[in-house]
Each structure stands twice: as C-alpha cells, then as structure tokens.
Amino acid sequence: MIQTLLNYFFRYFLFIRNKNVILNGKLKIKNKPLVHILDGTKLIIGDNVTLNSKNAKYHVNMFAPVKIYLDKVGAKITIGNNSRIHGSCLHAYKSINIGDNCLIAANCQIFDGNGHETSLDDPTKRLKITGISKPILIGNNCWIGTSVIILPGTKIGNNCIVAAGSVVKGEFKDNSLIAGNPAKFIKFVK
C-alpha cells in the first residue's frame, strides 16, 4: 500500500506536473526513477509504459534506478506504447526514440551524445567541450538485453533482439539478431 502511494507520488511530481512531459496514457512506476528534464526539452511517454527501478521480483540485478536525462535545449525522448524500461539510463542531447512494445532490460546505457570530445591535440579541452550528438532510433517490438550500450547515431529496426552485453553502433535492419562488442548482425529472426 505504501509503495503504491509512493509510486503515484513519483508519477505526479516527476511527470504529470512537468510542462515538458507529455503522458499519452497510463504510466506505471516501480520505485523512484532519476529524472532530469531541462526546460526546452520534451519527454513523450506512450500508453501503458513501465519504468521499473525495483530490484525485488526482477530476474536480473539492477545496479541503479531508471535514469532519464534531457539536458540540452531541444532534446527529446519518446517512449512508445506498452514499452518497459528496467533500471537503465536514457540520456538525450538531441533525440532518442523508442518504439512500441519494447523491452529494455536492466543496466542498459542509451545515449545519443558523447560527454566529451577526444581532443587528442589538447586533452585538457575534454573537460570543456562536449561531443557531437546523433539521434538514436529503436523500432517497435525490440528486446534490448541486459547491460547493452547503444551509442549515438544507432538505428535499430523493428522486431530486433540485441544480445546482453552488446555495444551497438550503426544501422540494423528489421528482424535482426544483434550481438557483440562491437555489435554485429548475426542473423534474421522471425
């Protein structure tokens, strides 16, 4: 009962009353997510979305709660209908679009921009210069396995599966099984 009340509280104060958030239906929150939504950004959440930060009764250990960061003006994160995100980080400088019916397992890192440039000519600049941003697109019906890292500019088609622990960069067609570090197309799945 207390946990249910807390989840309603989180939903109201973190999402419903925030003018930069559009809720298009039911949002289920399990334990408090970490949320940073800068003015001039947009978070769009579809119907029947779950943000799970509760380690109990989840089959993989979560190292941290769901983290949603929009910290550059114009940044946008869209989470499609019926999608579930478990203890993972979404960090947008520009755009992250997650389709409908997606499952994102625990400990994934999805970020569309590098925190710093390499600045090999003068490494001291790394602390002052942010890296480039490229939108991320995850299609409908995708399953992103635990501890996957999705890098800037990645496009994952519909009905794809990304194996646990993969580091993903590039474009992948619909129905792909993707695995490895760096991640590669393995085969088409049905």
CA torsion sign, 18 to 22 to 25 to 28? Answer: negative
Contact (CB, 8 A) for 65 and 105: no
- State the pairing for strand pair 42-45/176-180: unpaired
CA distance 117 to 119: 5
Give me the residues paired with residue 77 across strands.
43, 96
Task: Please indicate whether residue 36 is annotated as part of the active site.
Answer: no
Q: How crowded is residue 129: how many other Cβ atoms within 10 Å of its Cβ?
A: 13
Contact (CB, 8 A) for 127 and 144: no
Look up residue 138 and give its two tokens. Answer: 């995850």
Options 36, 86, 91, 116, the catalytic residue: 116
Q: What is the dihedral of CA 35, 108, 102, 53, to 10 degrees?
A: -50
Q: What is the dihedral of CA 114, 173, 83, 59, to 10 degrees?
A: -80
Cite the active site residues.
Answer: 116
